[in-house]
Amino acid sequence: MSYLERKTGKISRINSLPNYTAAGSYCFFSQCIQLNTLEYKDFLSFIDIKKPYDEAYKDILKFGPLLSHEVKHWYDAHSTLWGLKLLKDIYCRRNDLYEAEMSGISTKLPHFFRQKELYDRIEYIKLPEYYSTVNSKANTTKPWKYEFSAGIMFSKCGKPSDRSVFFTRFTNADGELIARVPFSLCSLLESSAVAQELNGKVRAIAMLDDPVSKKIESNNLSKSITDELYNENLVEYSVVAHKISNSFDISDVLESYNIAAKLTRLILNLTNDVIILLDPEAMLLPKFEAFVIPYKNALKHIDHGAIFSLFVDALDSQYQSKGTQVSNENLENLLDSMFKEYLGLSCMDIFEKSKVEVKNICTPVNFDLSKEHLNSSLKLGQNLHKQLGLVGSHFINLDDNFIPDFMLGDGTLISQTKPEQKDFEDRYLQLNEYFEYLSNFSKACIV
């Protein structure tokens, strides 16, 4: 439980991105980072430069990777086309509600469908539990066998829809189902944050002077990575790394996460007019024939998880299956070649389209409700979008980049910009109250 949950006595109902661990959280709705298990004394130990590095290592490992994980979520929400569009929509829709409440009960509400759309966008970052299956008793062997599959989502009326969902089915050596998990936006966002966290740990270990300690810590990290990769309860967060490893014959799990992080940023930066140009039938080998129609259906709904799965299959079809190893190093070049051939656009062309749309989104708002916070966030986001690029790096070095405000478990706010702590807490509380309204409004939409 976070400090603000303890302080208010209210558990947040915003569960679109469940914590990878309970140690920290990033809320895509209130934009608040909270490191629940860390206190100010931990922060002081983390930044203490007087200690020899090997003595300070445990304190750095305790604080740095967790902070990196949650900050990467913040970057994905503040430096991509997808994230900036969502950020602006949250505050614009909240202002719509505020203006309607100020106008009185006779106010016409023709635009209130956007409130429902916003709620659905947040809720379906993580697909409903219905689409996932876990059977812990079957998790008896490693590595797992796998099979890709596709299904159909149900509409809000309970009928089969024209929207497809893509799965990986994991089984043990006897063919028993261990887990079936969908490719969701949640999976993409978590893979990006896990890549950041793991690279932070690798970086911390590399700075150790004692070779024995370095070897022990490297072995411990390798074991923990493998344990998490084959933890059926965390498979929603590792499914994209599994798909990359299996599709590109990669044994280094960190390499798979690095590729996933780059692909995630790319997908979050694609404009809709680029997405609808994607042609699964042309981009995929015949072995993926069964997925062509499901992919086409998913693309109509701008399904980010499906787009991720499509890109991995397309890279397999165009390069891996033809003898070119897909790697973190050559990924952007391969994507550039693939886009030129099948879309008639280079990565630079696609990024220019993304920058134009981000510029339009980041136009300052005129309404008063949270105007200063929103406009400053949009201005910063536009600069970060340009700076980090279409595909970007798998790792953001926080030594050289902006670290957003975050709150520790004892209620201490750490900030580079020195705002009033009340502003941070008020934003959390106000946005959580607004989300409660959206939830109640969604339940009222029954006709």
**Domain ranges for the chain:** 3-136+163-444
d(Cα 26, Cα 82) in Å, to the nearest integer?
16
What is the b/e burial string over 295-333, where b = at least 16 CB atoms within 10 angstroms of the residue's CB?
A: bbbbbeeebbbbbbbbbbbbbbbbbbeeeeebebeebbe
d(Cα 381, Cα 387) in Å, to the nearest integer?
10
pLDDT for 420 equals 83
Does the model's pTM come out above 0.75?
yes
Contacts of 322 (CB under 8 A, 6+ apart): none
d(Cα 50, Cα 62) in Å, to the nearest integer?
18
Extract the tokens encoding 247: 């599709």
pLDDT for 20 equals 53
Radius of gyration of the chain from its Cα atoms, rounded to whole angstroms:
22
Task: Count Cβ atoms below 10 Å from residue 365 Cβ, excluding itself.
Answer: 16
- Is the omega angle on the peptide bond into residue 143 within 30 degrees of 0, that is, cis? yes
d(Cα 213, Cα 54) in Å, to the nearest integer?
9
pLDDT for 15 equals 65
Q: Report mean pLDDT in 10-residue bins for the chain, 447 residues.
A: 87 65 86 95 96 96 96 98 98 94 79 93 90 96 95 89 94 96 95 97 97 98 96 93 97 97 98 98 97 96 96 98 98 98 98 98 96 97 98 96 96 87 94 95 89
The SS3 of residue 132 is coil
- What is the total residue count of the chain? 447
CB 100 within 8 A of CB 107: yes
d(Cα 168, Cα 246) in Å, to the nearest integer?
11
